[in-house]
Amino acid sequence: MIRGALVALLLLAFGAVRVPIESSLAARHRSAYFHETRLGLDLREQIGQLGFLAALSGFRSLVADVIFIQAHVAWERTEWGRVLLLFREATTLQPRSILFWDMAAWHMAWNASVAARHDPSQPNEALRRKAEQEYFALGRDFLVRGIKNNPDRPQLYEALARLEKDKLGDHAAAARLYARAATLPGAPEYAERFAAYELSYAPGHERSAYAALLQLYRRGPRERLPTLLKRLEILEEQLDIPFDQRIPDGAR
Amino acid sequence: MIKPAVAVRGLTKVFPIPFRRTRVVAVRGLNLEVAPGQVYGLLGPNGSGKSTTLKIILGLVSPSSGSTEIFGRDSREVGSREAVGFLPENPYFYKYLTGAETLRFYGKLCGLSGVRLKSRTGELLELVGLQNARDRRLGGYSKGMLQRIGLAQALIQEPKLVVLDEPTAGVDPAGSRDIRDLILDLKRRGITVLLSSHLLAQVQEICDRVGILANGVLVREGRVEDLLAIENQTELILQNATPEVLNDIAALLKKSSARLIEQRQPQTTLERLFLEATKAPAER
Amino acid sequence: MSKSGHSRFSLTRIAALTGNTFTELVRLKVFYFLLIFALLLIGSSIFMAQLSFQQEFQVLKDVSLGAMSIFTSLLAIVATAQLIPHDVEERTIYTILAKPVPRYEYLAGKLGGVLLLLALSVVAMTALFLIALFVRQEMLVGVTLRQTSGLRPEQVQEAVRTLKASAFNVNLFPGIVVIYLKAALLASLTLFVSTFATSNIFTICVMVFIYFIGHLQAMAREYWLQQNSAGWIAKTFLALVALVFPDLQLFNLVDDIVAGTAIPGPLFAQTAVLGCVYISVYFFFAWVVFHGKEL
Ligand SMILES: Nc1ncnc2c1ncn2[C@@H]1O[C@H](COP(=O)(O)OP(=O)(O)OP(=O)(O)O)[C@@H](O)[C@H]1O
Ligand SMILES: [Mg+2]
């Protein structure tokens, strides 16, 4: 009896000592980008009891993989609602997988949106456009959340930049995203160049775009790709750069 | 002053019965001492507290009050068990070990190793008559064989005190004879033996001293001869006595104040009969 | 042996008990059942990976490491739960403790046997996992070589190098070590529970419960520490969950490692130290209950 009470006390004392330590360790894990997304209780409703238990006990990623495959199957059957739902689950369960976010956004913004735009069952053009826009927004939302979970990886910034420029036509935003991607480890060489290109398309940013392109140009012949030269020429024209300051024709 | 091998002082053990308000008093105010070199028998009916007392002496159960000592060291000290061997009642060992492995395991627990452990294992298997079963798993041992391996295990580190809880329970008469011989042999080598039993005939043969427990209380204690002797009687056993001799004796008795209480043909004991019958075919 | 010669702590005795416990466990049917099942699962991950789209290695690693994690944990619980009850029931414990064996050595030997068994199981599973990964990688390298047969050799080499880099990752090893630590923690906790449990079924049930709650403990803890608006009943409940149950989620690093995160060295070290502290503290609790227990 006495020993039982003693052990209970010891257990609580141990808890009191370790809880703050664990809390800070968990925070450090989080800031090292582990466990970013918690398993919310609403998730339990989404993936069912068994899946939830499995998710809790070391099979989290596996459940995510299975759901990802299901999403793929749903895509093949063009069940867009299911694709959306399944990708939400997969990304919640495994927020560290770049592929999940990327695929989810791609399906929404590139596939589902096109299907909605040409939906034969919807005669109203305005409503079809509205649906298309909604799928763009869903794709964007996946990438924004993906970036929040993986701020250290360049791929999702790039994906979002593509979405901004190709689907939403926001070149300034695309430029910002490419520029951000370029600063991260593992970023492709072209990210910085693309940032400058996008800026050159963004109305009102001609000056800074010109400066960025010129800076790249000055790095040497390696950077002097045809598109870069073309964009520079257009900007020189737009900004009325004096001829003696323009890049020599020989470089073209 | 020479320290007793075992000393029990004012020992009481109360077992609470969980979820009920009653309790069982297994041992009540027990005092006893076992002198070194003695064979001491603890007797008593089922449930009288024999096993409980032995377990307390070995530190397996803690006393409610009072204390026990082995060669002057409190039973609660682990070191007090250094020179003690114990055979619990109805012992079971790890079924997946062979006889030899079992002895090696217990030997290591007692700090033996190497050649010494190896030779000791062989010796003891020989001593308890299990050398043929040394490489068989204990799962296949009979009850009597388990009792023997238990005995061997208790002797592994050449202890100065051996505590045996019903050493002959479940053992056939020949085996039980062997065990009794073994105990007498231990005694010859100066090893103290404390055993419990309710087979009185066997105890009578080997014990120097006995204590009788009833309901946890020590009701009798003393040397076996003292306890059993009926002082005003004498027993005569005659061989080849003719009727005339018997008549003479009767006549003599008539003249004296002595009285003949009983005259009968002595019978061999069932035990002796059993031993003769089972020994014969095996040894022929 | 002199009177004062008894040592309070003897590695030989613990080693004897550990070896014996290990033998006992290895001869248990449930051990083979679990191990074979885990190995089958890891082996079959090669084929499961084929079903998946675009992420061959991730599925293979998720299946294998998931299997490893759950089977070591399960094995830790099931194996440990029956050690002490079995000895008490069969009364073998009397013969052991009647020798000059302190009770903490007995417990240490039991835990040691389980930890040894777990270590060997993890090594076996890791070996099979690496083989599966290698086989899958070679299969894919073959496919890649065929697909890229027309390209320049540098490009082919580059493709193969990328493929290999995504197959094997040194970070997997710290992840596996943490899987082992989690199982060891569970073993130590099971030993503690089994010192006061009345049957091993009870112990297993309690441990399975702890296993699930342990993965949710972090949630309860953060709610308790952060939410001030909750009522006192809810707060007390959350506090109890946080204080009593271990945080097992902290030891689930493989998911993130498979997804490509590297564990920073200091963080791994801190997690490992926390695991060892858990193991020792639960062992100490087991001793507190066990050292005065009536047998
Ligand atoms: N662990 C226990 N919990 C509760 N009661 C117990 C416990 N161990 C023994 N008892 C009780 O203590 C009493 C003495 O038991 P003990 O085993 O010492 O008897 P014994 O003399 O060895 O009997 P037997 O000849 O049958 O072996 C019994 O009434 C028994 O029910
Ligand atoms: Mg008894």
- With CA atoms as reference, the chain C residue closest to A16 would be C243
Closest ligand 1 atom to C294 CA = 1
Ligand 1 pocket mutation, candidates C89, C91, C293, C294, criterion most atoms within 8 A of CB: C294
Segment A212-216 mean pLDDT: 87
For chain B, the residue count is: 284
Could you tell me the two tokens for B210?
Answer: 């006995």
Could you tell me the two tokens for B162?
Answer: 């051996």
Q: Quote the DSSP letter at residue A111.
A: I
- With CA atoms as reference, the chain B residue closest to C293 would be B61
Residue A142: half-sphere exposure toward Cβ, Cα within 13 Å: 30
Nearest CA to ligand 1 atom 29: B47
pLDDT at A117 over 60: yes
* Tens place of pLDDT per residue across chain C (295 aa): 444 456 778 888 999 999 999 998 988 877 887 788 788 877 777 776 665 545 677 778 888 888 888 889 999 999 999 999 989 888 899 999 999 999 999 999 999 999 999 999 999 999 988 988 888 888 888 887 888 777 788 878 877 887 787 778 788 899 999 999 999 999 999 999 999 988 889 999 999 999 988 887 887 888 788 766 667 888 888 889 899 999 998 898 877 777 777 788 898 999 999 999 999 999 999 999 998 888 7
Ligand 1 pocket mutation, candidates B51, B87, B166, B197, criterion most atoms within 8 A of CB: B51
Which of C8, C24, C100 is nearest residue B94 as measured by Cβ atoms? C24
Q: Chains that contact B by 3+ CB pairs under 8 Å?
A: C
Interface contact B84, partner C, CB < 8 A = yes
Q: What are the extents of the domains in chain A? A: 36-151, 160-252
Q: Cα–Cα distance between C99 and B84 in angstroms, integer? A: 7
What pLDDT is recorded for position A181?
92
What pLDDT is recorded for position B282?
44
Residues of C in contact with B163 (CB under 8 A): 98
- With CA atoms as reference, the chain C residue closest to B80 would be C100
Count of CB atoms situated within 10 Å of the CB of C200: 20
Q: Report strand pairing: B209-214 vs B23-34.
A: unpaired
- Best to test chain C binding among B71, B73, B109, B112 (most C CBs inside 10 Å): B109
Which of B81, B82, B92 is nearest residue C90 as measured by Cβ atoms? B92
Nearest CA to ligand 1 atom 16: B49
Asked if B156 contacts B133 with a C-beta cutoff of 8 angstroms, the reply is no
- With CA atoms as reference, the chain C residue closest to B59 would be C98
Q: Cα–Cα distance between A135 and A130 in angstroms, integer? A: 9
Interface contact B247, partner C, CB < 8 A = no
> If you average pLDDT over each of A178-182, B114-118, C280-284, which comes out highest?
C280-284
Asked if B211 contacts B185 with a C-beta cutoff of 8 angstroms, the reply is no
Segment B235-244 mean pLDDT: 82
Does the beta carbon of B102 lie inside 6 Å of ligand 1? no
Ligand 1 pocket mutation, candidates B17, B50, B168, criterion most atoms within 8 A of CB: B50
The residue with tokens 């227990």 is C293
- Name B33's bridge partners: B7
Asked if C30 contacts B123 with a C-beta cutoff of 8 angstroms, the reply is no
> If you average pLDDT over each of A174-178, B234-238, C236-240, which comes out highest?
A174-178
Segment A66-84 mean pLDDT: 85
Handedness of CA A170, A175, A178, A179 (dihedral sign): negative
Residues of C in contact with B73 (CB under 8 A): 3
pLDDT at A41 over 50: no
Residues of A in contact with C289 (CB under 8 A): 3, 7
Asked if C54 contacts A99 with a C-beta cutoff of 8 angstroms, the reply is yes
pLDDT at A11 over 90: yes
pLDDT band at B280 (very low <50, low <70, confident <90, very high): low
Q: Which among A64, A59, A30, A19 is positioned nearest to C73, based on CA atoms?
A: A59
3-class SS string, chain C: CCHHHCCCCCHHHHHHHHHHHHHHHHCCHHHHHHHHHHHHHHHHHHHHHHHCCCCHHHHHHHHHHHHHHHHHHHHHHHHHHCHHHHHHHCCHHHHHHCCCCCHHHHHHHHHHHHHHHHHHHHHHHHHHHHHHHHHHHHHHHHHHHHHCCCCCHHHHHHHHHHHHHHHCCCCHHHHHHHHHHHHHHHHHHHHHHHHHCCCHHHHHHHHHHHHHHHHHHHHHHHHHHHCCCCCHHHHHHHHHHHHHCCCCHHHCCHHHHHCCCCCCHHHHHHHHHHHHHHHHHHHHHHHHHHCCCCC
Give contacts of C 115-174 with A, CB under 8 A: none
User: Which residue segments constitute the domains of chain B, with CATH numbers given?
Assistant: 6-229+267-283 (3.40.50.300)
The larger pLDDT score, comparing residue B167 to residue B230, is at B167
Q: Is B47 exposed, middle or buried (0-12, 13-18, 19+ CB in 10 A)?
A: middle
Decide if the complex's ipTM is over 0.90: no
Asked if B25 contacts B86 with a C-beta cutoff of 8 angstroms, the reply is no
Q: Cα–Cα distance between A3 and A11 in angstroms, integer? A: 12
First to last CA, chain C: 28
Does the beta carbon of B121 lie inside 6 Å of ligand 1? no
Report the predicted TM-score, pTM, of the whole model to 2 decimal places.
0.80
The residues, any chain, with a CB within 8 Å of residue B283's CB and separated by 6 or more, are none
Q: Quote the DSSP letter at residue B75.
A: T
Å from CA of B60 to ligand 1 middle: 14
The enclosing H or E element of A243 equals: none
Strand order, beta sheet including B192-197: B84-87, B161-165, B192-197, B39-43, B209-214, B217-223
Q: What is the mean pLDDT of chain B?
A: 86
Asked if A93 contacts A67 with a C-beta cutoff of 8 angstroms, the reply is yes
CA A91 to chain C, closest CA, distance in angstroms equals 12
Nearest CA to ligand 1 atom 26: B46
Strands (E), chain B: 6-16, 23-34, 39-43, 65-70, 73-74, 84-87, 161-165, 192-197, 209-214, 217-223
What pLDDT is recorded for position B191?
93
Rounded to whole angstroms, what are the CA distances from C272 to A23, A57, B66, C174, C277? Answer: 15, 19, 47, 9, 9
Q: Cα–Cα distance between B127 and B153 in angstroms, integer? A: 11
The residue with tokens 């099971």 is C190
Interface contact A1, partner C, CB < 8 A = no
What pLDDT is recorded for position B278?
62
Closest ligand 1 atom to B44 CA = 21
- Best to test chain A binding among C243, C251, C294 (most A CBs inside 10 Å): C243
Interface contact B136, partner C, CB < 8 A = no
Q: Which among B54, B82, B72, B66 is positioned nearest to B7, based on CA atoms?
A: B72
pLDDT band at B149 (very low <50, low <70, confident <90, very high): very high
Rounded to whole angstroms, what are the CA distances from A222 to A131, A194, A211, B80? Answer: 44, 15, 18, 86
Does the beta carbon of B241 lie inside 6 Å of ligand 1? no
The larger pLDDT score, comparing residue B284 to residue B206, is at B206
Å from CA of C293 to ligand 2 middle: 19
Q: Quote the DSSP letter at residue A248.
A: P
The larger pLDDT score, comparing residue B142 to residue A34, is at B142
- With CA atoms as reference, the chain B residue closest to C23 would be B96
Nearest CA to ligand 1 atom 31: B47
Closest ligand 1 atom to B55 CA = 18
Q: Is C27 exposed, middle or buried (0-12, 13-18, 19+ CB in 10 A)?
A: middle
Tell me if C100 and B90 make a contact (CB, 8 A cut-off): no
Segment B206-231 mean pLDDT: 82
Interface contact A30, partner C, CB < 8 A = no
Segment A49-72 mean pLDDT: 72
Interface contact A4, partner C, CB < 8 A = yes
Tell me if C1 and B157 make a contact (CB, 8 A cut-off): yes
Asked if B196 contacts B43 with a C-beta cutoff of 8 angstroms, the reply is yes
What pLDDT is recorded for position A251?
58
The C-alpha angle C278, A37, A162, rounded to 5 degrees, equals 145
Å from CA of B158 to ligand 1 middle: 29
CA A228 to chain C, closest CA, distance in angstroms equals 26
Which of C15, C90, C100 is nearest residue B110 as measured by Cβ atoms? C100
Tell me if A72 and C289 make a contact (CB, 8 A cut-off): no
Rounded to whole angstroms, what are the CA distances from B116 to A39, B24, B79, B113? Answer: 61, 45, 21, 6
**In whole angstroms, how large is the CA radius of gyration of chain C?**
23
Does the beta carbon of B50 lie inside 6 Å of ligand 1? yes
Could you tell me the two tokens for C241?
Answer: 């969950």
Angle of helix C103-147 versus helix C172-196 axis, rounded to 10? 150
The C-alpha angle B78, B79, B80, rounded to 5 degrees, equals 90
Q: Cα–Cα distance between B50 and B41 in angstroms, integer? A: 10
Does the beta carbon of B22 lie inside 6 Å of ligand 1? no
What pLDDT is recorded for position A21?
93
Tell me if C285 and A6 make a contact (CB, 8 A cut-off): no
